[in-house]
């Protein structure tokens, strides 16, 4: 295994790929040898030149902050001697930069003779020969409205938190009734749907309606209480047209036994959905959400670039991906802005960023209160450091759509979605925007899930080995002399397997989480 990685030729730091003891001599290039002054933990940064106070620290070929003090060549670079360079609201100019995602590449060029991989943040492209080797179909479920799903589940969705426990009880009993192609009956409890005001209430209604319309559900039971603000009659206009065979409604206050009545309706849903078989479907129908959490210093080197490479592959084959976590774009937002397909999308992206900054300011909170303690332990020092790694999940494709929170995808290709960095909230937002599967990169590990299959991709092999009950795919092999082409091909095929019915670890564990973004007043 490599000891360290220099991500970009212009970087003045390297990243340790394993713990480096003080006194270790490292050959950076044929003409540069550096001795580690301090112990450098895996995932953390070491200076490869002297860096004076207030000078830029460069990683991914971009500034990740400024030196708080003079930093010597060989010093450990982290929060003790590195500070953010970010401010508040910014003015942006549209300077479009596009990369051809179907050009020939030579992966041998990415690794020098001494095994040091030099990765540019914009360098992930897919070649046509590789694309031709990849599956163009998956086995999915066609719905009567023309949508397609990768699961055939029955969902019990409460309109209000008051009946969340009832929904859970219904799903538990209903799982004894399964037949045909129905995978599972799942309840999605939540605390909202009443005592909300304005946009906050509006967003809850949109998210609940988006779930009801999600094609991974072959059947839906909408469970209301009867006196809530977001009752069934209120929700129906948000739902729009629906197939009465697929969507059933029940108001608990109008029943003598809401569980018994619900089970009768679910039997009807199972009869309907259970008769629908998987069939070959073009990958251009796939929508994949992209999310990271528990990031470490390897996230922007292994897992996130791998997801970015996959995003380019899928988009090149006509599919779609969605990137969210707006606060974790701060510091790298211009990369996305300048990849907007037109100036209108650029202005929408500027609004996406600044609206979220104003959300922080309206609550008198610091905009750049990031990274998290876990991020810092893993080697991420500033928000710029985190964001430059995070945004690599977007690959190289042009931005084709910008979505508000609760809005569903309409345009194929790469879309940006407004949602916070919180794992459960952001992953739920991806699902409700139309994602069939969520790709979740992690350097720390997490067992959670979202309403759709939530695939965990480890940034390092240690995590993949230690938590194999959580982790679905190990991207850590990218720094163990496996090529990006080799790993991305395996990764793409694995995602097709998941889309075709293979369960991820969180599904096997029975985890199905849902969280709505709470922004307003509670009455």
- Are residues 264 and 328 both part of a single domain? no
% pLDDT > 90, the chain: 85
pLDDT recorded at residue 312: 94
Predicted confidence (pLDDT) at residue 109 exceeds the cutoff of 60: no
- Are residues 233 and 159 both part of a single domain? yes
Predicted confidence (pLDDT) at residue 197 exceeds the cutoff of 60: yes
Kindly state the average pLDDT of the residues 76-83. 96
Of 262, 277, 292, the domain-final residue: 277
Instruction: Indicate whether 102 belongs to any domain.
Output: no
CATH for 264: 3.40.50
Q: What sign results for the dihedral spanned by CA atoms 390, 393, 398, 403?
A: negative
Kindly state the average pLDDT of the residues 121-147. 80
Predicted confidence (pLDDT) at residue 434 exceeds the cutoff of 80: yes
- Are residues 478 and 388 both part of a single domain? yes
Band of pLDDT at residue 372, cut at 50, 70 and 90: confident
Of 252, 277, 302, the domain-final residue: 277
% pLDDT > 70, the chain: 94
Kindly state the average pLDDT of the residues 29-49. 96
Q: What sign results for the dihedral spanned by CA atoms 195, 200, 206, 211?
A: negative
Q: How far is CA 367 from the centre of its chain?
A: 21
Question: Among 110-119, 190-199, 268-277, 484-493, which stretch is predicted with the lowest mean pLDDT?
Answer: 110-119
pLDDT recorded at residue 299: 92
Of 277, 301, 326, the domain-final residue: 277
Mean pLDDT across the chain = 92
Predicted confidence (pLDDT) at residue 126 exceeds the cutoff of 50: no
pLDDT recorded at residue 122: 37
- Are residues 192 and 79 both part of a single domain? no
- Are residues 319 and 219 both part of a single domain? no
CA distances from 299 to 17, 460, 479, 504 (A): 11, 8, 12, 20
pLDDT recorded at residue 258: 98
- Are residues 268 and 301 both part of a single domain? no
Instruction: Indicate whether 107 belongs to any domain.
Output: no
Predicted confidence (pLDDT) at residue 107 exceeds the cutoff of 80: no
pLDDT in tens, 455-509: 999 999 999 999 999 999 999 999 998 999 899 999 999 999 999 999 999 999 9
- Are residues 45 and 164 both part of a single domain? no
pLDDT in tens, 4-27: 999 999 999 999 999 999 999 999
The residue written with tokens 């380019």 in the block is: 312
Q: How many domains does the chain have?
A: 3
Instruction: Indicate whether 272 belongs to any domain.
Output: yes
Instruction: Indicate whether 498 belongs to any domain.
Output: yes
The residue written with tokens 């940064």 in the block is: 45
Instruction: Indicate whether 483 belongs to any domain.
Output: yes
Give the Cα separation of 327 and 324 in Å (integer). 9
Q: Which structural domain range is residue 32 located in?
A: 4-83
- Are residues 235 and 302 both part of a single domain? no
Give the Cα separation of 373 and 416 in Å (integer). 26
- Are residues 375 and 411 both part of a single domain? yes
Instruction: Indicate whether 448 belongs to any domain.
Output: yes
Predicted confidence (pLDDT) at residue 99 exceeds the cutoff of 50: yes
Band of pLDDT at residue 89, cut at 50, 70 and 90: confident
pLDDT recorded at residue 369: 65
Give the Cα separation of 160 and 163 in Å (integer). 6
pLDDT in tens, 276-301: 999 999 999 999 999 998 788 999 99
CATH for 26: 2.30.130.110
Instruction: Give the closest residue to 152 by CA, choosing from 190, 179, 188.
Output: 179
pLDDT recorded at residue 128: 77
* DSSP, res 117: B
- Are residues 249 and 325 both part of a single domain? no
HEC states along 270-315? HHHHCCCCCEEEEHHHCEEEEEECCCCCCCCCCHHHHHHHHHHHHH
- Are residues 250 and 379 both part of a single domain? no
Predicted confidence (pLDDT) at residue 195 exceeds the cutoff of 90: yes
Q: Is the pTM of this model over 0.85?
A: yes
Instruction: Indicate whether 118 belongs to any domain.
Output: no
Instruction: Give the closest residue to 442 by CA, choosing from 306, 324, 303.
Output: 303
Instruction: Indicate whether 51 belongs to any domain.
Output: yes
pLDDT recorded at residue 130: 80
Higher-confidence residue of 116 and 432: namely 432
Give the Cα separation of 488 and 395 in Å (integer). 12
pLDDT in tens, 319-341: 999 999 999 999 899 999 999 99
Peptide bond into 371 cis (omega under 30): yes
pLDDT in tens, 223-235: 999 999 999 999 9
- Are residues 164 and 307 both part of a single domain? no
Predicted confidence (pLDDT) at residue 116 exceeds the cutoff of 80: no
């Amino acid at each position: 295994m490599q000891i360290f990685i220099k991500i970009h030729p212009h970087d003045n730091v390297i990243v340790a790929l394993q713990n480096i003891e003080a006194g270790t001599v490292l050959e950076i290039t044929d003409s540069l040898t550096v001795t580690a002054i301090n112990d450098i933990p895996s995932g953390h940064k070491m200076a490869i030149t002297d860096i004076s106070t207030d000078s830029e620290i460069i990683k991914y070929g971009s500034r990740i902050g400024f030196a708080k003090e003079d930093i010597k060549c060989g010093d450990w670079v982290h929060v003790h001697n590195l500070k953010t360079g970010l401010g508040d609201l910014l003015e942006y100019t549209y300077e479009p930069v596009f990369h051809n995602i179907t050009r020939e590449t030579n992966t041998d060029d990415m690794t020098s003779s001494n095994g040091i991989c030099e990765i540019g943040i914009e360098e992930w492209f897919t070649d046509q020969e590789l694309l031709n080797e990849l599956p163009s179909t998956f086995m999915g479920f066609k719905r009567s409205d023309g949508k397609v799903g990768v699961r055939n589940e029955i969902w019990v969705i409460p309109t209000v938190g008051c009946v969340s426990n009832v929904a859970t009880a219904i799903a538990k009993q209903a799982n004894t009734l399964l037949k045909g192609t129905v995978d599972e009956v799942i309840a999605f409890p939540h605390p909202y749907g009443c005592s909300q005001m304005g946009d906050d209430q509006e967003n809850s209604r949109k998210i609940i309606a988006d779930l009801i319309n999600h094609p991974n559900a072959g059947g839906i039971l909408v469970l209301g209480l009867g006196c809530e603000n977001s009752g069934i009659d209120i929700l129906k206009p948000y739902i729009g047209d629906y197939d009465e065979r697929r969507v059933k409604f029940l108001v608990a206050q109008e029943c003598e036994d809401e569980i018994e009545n619900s089970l009768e309706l679910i039997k009807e849903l199972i009869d309907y959905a259970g008769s629908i078989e998987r069939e070959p479907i073009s990958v251009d129908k796939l929508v994949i959400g992209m999310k990271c959490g528990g990031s470490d210093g390897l996230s922007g080197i292994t897992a996130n670039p791998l997801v970015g490479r996959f995003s380019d592959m899928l988009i090149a084959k006509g599919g779609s991906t969605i990137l969210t976590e707006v606060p974790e774009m701060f510091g790298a937002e211009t990369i996305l802005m300048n990849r907007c397909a037109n100036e209108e999308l650029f202005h929408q992206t500027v609004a996406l960023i600044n609206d979220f900054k104003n959300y922080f300011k309206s609550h008198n909170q610091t905009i750049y209160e990031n990274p998290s303690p876990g991020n810092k332990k893993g080697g991420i020092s500033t928000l710029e450091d985190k964001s430059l790694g995070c945004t690599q999940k977007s690959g190289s494709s042009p931005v084709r759509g910008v979505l508000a929170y609760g809005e569903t995808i309409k345009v194929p290709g790469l879309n940006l979605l407004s949602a916070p960095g919180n794992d459960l909230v952001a992953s739920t937002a991806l699902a409700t925007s139309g994602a069939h599967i969520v790709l979740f990169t992690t350097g720390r590990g997490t067992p959670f899930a979202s309403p759709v299959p939530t695939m965990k991709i480890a940034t390092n092999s240690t995590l993949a080995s230690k938590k194999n009950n959580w982790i679905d795919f190990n991207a850590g092999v990218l720094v163990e002399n496996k090529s990006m082409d080799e790993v991305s091909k395996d990764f793409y095929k694995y995602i097709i397997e998941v889309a075709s019915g293979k369960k991820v670890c969180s599904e096997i564990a029975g985890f199905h989480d849902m969280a709505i973004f709470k922004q307003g007043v509670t009455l």
